[in-house]
């Protein structure tokens, strides 16, 4: 198993799928690699590809606001994606692209050993939690796999498109706050 820095270096040179041909930057992830909480989105968008950082556009600002609401910030969590390179025109990552890239995320997870994973949106929920996940019905519900507590919530970009769903997401984040208090040992909420 590589170290965190070795893994990041290897990931930055990845050519396992066609997404490497059109990327500006690999978006390895951001935050605390020793965090107990990991957030996983589907893939970088245009702003993320330009900066090499996950969730930095409007959806990222909303995610930051939701983290702040429960006493967290990016220094207390780690934020990653299913795929590390931007799909063209922000389309959903294709199954073969997800399969080519998922090894990076698995290695990140193995090194981090998070206690909680929050899937941001339908695609990450289906890949990480279960293939038949129905995000509109199962967001905010806890699942346990390999001793990791997992929950899917609505993607921040979906909340920007349909603000009426924000209360659902706020309930999910409140459930996250309670779960952190229940099982995390070194994550302090503000």
Output the domain CATH number for residue 158. Answer: 3.40.470.10
Residue 48 in tokens = 């993320």
Residue 81 structural domain: 4-179
Q: What mean pLDDT do residues 171-178 have?
A: 98
In a domain, 185, yes or no: no
pLDDT of 137 reads 96
Report the domain count for the chain. 1
Q: What is the mean pLDDT of residues 160-180?
A: 97
What is the average per-residue pLDDT within 99-124?
98
Average pLDDT over residues 111-126: 98
**Residue 48: is its pLDDT beyond 90?**
yes
Looking at the domain assignment, is residue 171 inside a domain?
Answer: yes
Percent of the chain with pLDDT over 90: 98
User: Is pLDDT above 90 for 63?
Assistant: yes
**Is residue 87 a contact partner of residue 19, using CB atoms and an 8 Å limit?**
yes
The stretch 72-77 carries a mean pLDDT of 96
Q: Is residue 52 part of a domain?
A: yes
Is residue 38 within 8 Å of 80, Cβ to Cβ? Answer: yes
Residue 134 belongs to a domain: yes
Residues across the chain: 190
> Are 84 and 28 contacting, i.e. CB atoms less than 8 angstroms apart?
yes
Q: Quick check: is 144 in a domain?
A: yes
Q: What is the pLDDT of residue 20?
A: 97
- When pLDDT is averaged across residues 122-135 and rounded to a whole number, the result is 97
Q: Which value, to the nearest 10 degrees, does the dihedral of the CA atoms of residues 136, 142, 144, 145 take? A: 30
Q: Is the confidence at residue 190, as pLDDT, over 90?
A: no
CA distance linking residue 65 with residue 53, whole number of Å: 17
Answer yes or no: are the C-beta atoms of 189 and 180 closer than 8 Å: yes
pLDDT confidence of 151, banded at 50, 70, 90? very high
Summary mean pLDDT of the chain: 97
Cα dihedral 136→143→36→124 (10° resolution): -40
Whether 154 shows a pLDDT value over 90: the answer reads yes
The tokens describing 28, both together, are 């390895």
- Structure-block tokens of residue 161: 């498109």
Residue 190 belongs to a domain: no
- The pLDDT-based confidence of 172 (bands split at 50, 70, 90) is very high
Cα–Cα nearest to 114, from 127, 105, 124, 104: 105
Based on the number of CB atoms within 10 Å of its own CB, is 137 exposed (0-12), middle (13-18) or buried (19 or more)?
exposed
Q: With respect to residue 189, please indicate whether it lies within any of the assigned structural domains.
A: no
Residue 35 has a pLDDT of 98
- Cβ 54 vs Cβ 81: under 8 Å: yes
Q: Measured between alpha carbons, how far is 151 from 167 in angstroms, rounded to an integer?
A: 16
- Angle formed by the axes of helices 4-12 and 95-112, nearest 10°: 160
**pLDDT surpasses 90 at 1:** no
Do the domain assignments include residue 188?
no
pLDDT given at position 5: 97
Contact 16, 75 (CB under 8 A): no
């Amino acid at each position: 198993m590589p170290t965190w820095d070795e893994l990041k270096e290897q990931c930055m040179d990845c050519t396992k799928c066609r997404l490497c041909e059109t990327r500006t930057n690999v978006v390895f992830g951001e935050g605390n690699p020793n965090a107990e909480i990991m957030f996983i989105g589907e893939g970088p968008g245009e702003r993320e590809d330009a900066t090499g950082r996950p969730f930095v556009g409007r959806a990222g600002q909303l995610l930051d606001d939701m983290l702040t609401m429960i006493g967290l910030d990016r220094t207390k969590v780690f934020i990653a994606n299913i795929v590390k390179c931007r799909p063209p025109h922000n389309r959903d990552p294709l199954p073969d692209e997800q399969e080519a890239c998922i090894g990076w995320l698995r290695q990140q997870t193995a090194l981090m050993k998070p206690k909680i994973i929050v899937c941001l949106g339908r695609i990450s929920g289906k890949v990480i939690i279960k293939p038949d996940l129905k995000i509109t019905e199962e967001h905010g519900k806890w699942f346990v796999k390999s001793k990791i507590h997992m929950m899917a919530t609505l993607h921040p970009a979906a909340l920007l498109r349909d603000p009426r769903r924000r209360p659902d997401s706020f309930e999910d984040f409140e459930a996250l706050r309670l779960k952190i208090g229940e099982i995390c040992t070194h994550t302090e909420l503000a």
